[in-house]
Amino acid sequence: MPNIPLPKRNADGSYTTSPAGMAIDADGANGQTGGVPVYARKGFTPAPLDFLANAGGPGNWFGVVTDTGEEDGRPAKQNASGPAPGAYVSATSYRWPTLARIDPLAYVDAASVPYIVLPSHWRKEAIGVVLGCKAIVEDTKTGKILEAAGVLVGLLAIFFLSGEAVRGCKRWRELKRKSSNLI
């Protein structure tokens, strides 16, 4: 991702980005709320939300948790007690500290929780921006506002300014567009 400069701070202490498009990412969706997981082996039923190739590959895994915690490890699979047994565990920057790194329930469910991820350098530069800050996403075509549950920074490839947000935001966009027949 290019080094996009941090926007100027508003008088109220918030930051506002320029309008941008939005694509959807689902890293962290492990079936936590009964949904479909983001990554699984070929032939997994139901079909996962994303192609496994978008999580990396042998020697360079970045979208799934590995057994060693390193990019050259083997992808960790959910066990029989996981929400989607056999699917790979996908991570978010936030992890419940009391749960194991390979536990699919340790991560924010991108399929049901609307959030965005800011470029990691913004977190270092911005005053008062921390994990869990409130984010407001506006659909500039309709004026519809979404208050995101939190802002995560870092590990995920979800960059708001380059046009990505999580699947939870997509569901919000689909619900509002269904009512206006724009899908």
Query: 76: number of CA atoms within 13 Å, CB side?
Result: 22
3-state helix, strand, coil in the chain (%, to 5): 15, 20, 70
pLDDT digit string (tens) for 27-73? 899 999 999 999 999 999 999 999 999 999 999 999 999 999 999 99
What percent of the chain lies above the pLDDT cut of 90?
A: 39
pLDDT digit string (tens) for 118-140? 777 777 787 776 666 777 777 77
Query: At 36, which amino acid appears?
Result: V
The residue with greater pLDDT, 156 or 164, is 164
Of the candidate ranges 37-41, 59-63, 146-150, 153-157, the one whose mean pLDDT is the lowest? 153-157
Structure tokens at 62: 């970045």
Q: What is the mean pLDDT of residues 2-22?
A: 78
Q: Report yes or no: 151 and 123 within 8 Å, Cβ to Cβ.
A: no
Query: At 77, which amino acid appears?
Result: K
Average pLDDT, the chain: 77
